[in-house]
Structure 1
Amino acid sequence: MKWTISNQLTLGRVVLIPVLIAVFYLATPLAYWVSAIVFSLAAFTDWLDGYLARTRGEETAFGKFLDPVADKLLVATALVMLVSADMAPAILAVIIIGREITIGALREWLAQRASVIVHVSQMAKWKTAIQMLAIVLLLLHVDVMGFSMHETGLVLLWLAAVLTLWSGYEYIRDAWPELKEGSIDSSSK
């Protein structure tokens, strides 16, 4: 395995998850700020590691495996914490986490079929950006200059859930011919 800067950043994102958990459960106003900063830092490494891997030609099989796993772990952890603290509706966490599991499995299945390359859609990129911002604002959970970060975060999380369903639909729609062919192949054996 090649230990690139991108892979180190991705692994760093995983290492930040227990830090986020520990800080979040301190439940003080300062902890809200620190957990929002820790999550923001982790979310930024998601963008940075991909950018560095592409621009430096350092894409690795390990990075392609670990990056989406780190992203899903980070988001799922934050959503579960927010739901457990009654700071976000459980239905939104179910929609977002359920889509990630479903589309992750679909992408893995399609990747095993030699002729299929699955690219991240533009809608999925918007979904991720809005989702990350929503989680940061929900973790912050305070008013800033008279604006409720929590309420703004909730609105953005609802928007992220809609985009989550939309981008999930796009992946399934685009994969449908391959899914139909796969079901025909398996029924004929």
Structure 2
Amino acid sequence: MLNLANSLTLGRIFTIPVIVVLLYYPSKVTLFLACSLFFLASLTDIFDGYIARTQNQVTTLGKFLDPLADKLLISSILIMLTQIGYVEAWISIVIICREIAITGLRAIAIDMGLVLAADNLGKLKTVVQSLALGGLLLHYTYLGMDMHVVGTWILYVALVLTVYSAGNYMYNLHKIWLTSE
């Protein structure tokens, strides 16, 4: 159960408290460290899935932990960025509520014996959210680019993708539900 893929996922979860502590004391150094940890954690999301599939390490625990780790990481950073004033609260609320709602729908679907895998739109949403949070975590100007402004604009794109992908998920679940009756 505790194979390499699941260990990487757990590692992603264990980075969350460290990132949160770093964001409690926002400075150029702590924000850069938080962004670096977030980047490494995001890389584990790519590798844990790849390892699980190619090394035949797909487990029930991994299927549960992987999306949970993503949601915990993104939500924690959004909450902290809201707390320090880098993200408007309503944006964090919309994104976090979407994640909770889709998790609930996924649980209902599973209970009904339906499976709706993550689609490319949901994966794109996660990538764009991660890019936005990376820019917001860097916050300061680097190489003449105001990373806070860049991150904010990318976050608006992520917000649109977040809402659209939720609607798409609900539509696809509805289609599967109708065809399964």
The bucket for the TM-score relative to the shorter chain is over 0.9
Root-mean-square deviation over aligned CA pairs:
1.6
Aligned to 1:163: 161
Aligned to 1:129: 127
Q: Distance in 2 between matches of 1:179 and 1:150?
A: 42
Residue 43 of structure 1 deviates from its aligned partner by 1.1
* Residues 52-98 of structure 1: per-residue CA shift (max 9 Å, x gap): 11111110000011111111111110000000111011111111111
Q: Distance in 1 between matches of 2:174 and 2:60?
A: 26
Aligned to 1:174: 172
Q: Distance in 1 between matches of 2:57 and 2:178?
A: 35
Residue 178 of structure 1 deviates from its aligned partner by 5.6
The residue type paired with residue 117 of structure 1 is V
The residue type paired with residue 67 of structure 1 is D
The residue type paired with residue 152 of structure 2 is L
Structure 1 residue runs of 4+, over 4 Å off? 177-182
Q: Distance in 2 between matches of 1:91 and 1:128?
A: 18
Aligned length: 181
Aligned to 2:58: 59
- SS at 1:3 equivalent: coil
| Residue 31 (structure 2) pairs with residue 32 (structure 1) | yes
Q: Distance in 2 between matches of 1:121 and 1:178?
A: 14
Structure 1: segments with no counterpart, 5+ residues: none
Aligned to 1:105: 104
Q: Distance in 2 between matches of 1:117 and 1:73?
A: 22
Larger-Rg structure: 1
Q: TM-score normalized by structure 1?
A: 0.91
Correspondences of 1:12-161 after superposition (within 5 Å): 12-114=11-113, 116-161=114-159
* Residues 125-171 of structure 1: per-residue CA shift (max 9 Å, x gap): 11000000100110111111110111000001110010001110011
Structure 2: segments with no counterpart, 5+ residues: none
Q: Distance in 2 between matches of 1:97 and 1:90?
A: 11
Residue 26 of structure 1 deviates from its aligned partner by 2.1
Paired-residue identity, %: 36
Residue 177 of structure 1 deviates from its aligned partner by 4.4
The residue type paired with residue 5 of structure 1 is L
The residue type paired with residue 93 of structure 2 is V
Q: Distance in 1 between matches of 2:164 and 2:18?
A: 32
Q: Distance in 1 between matches of 2:54 and 2:141?
A: 39
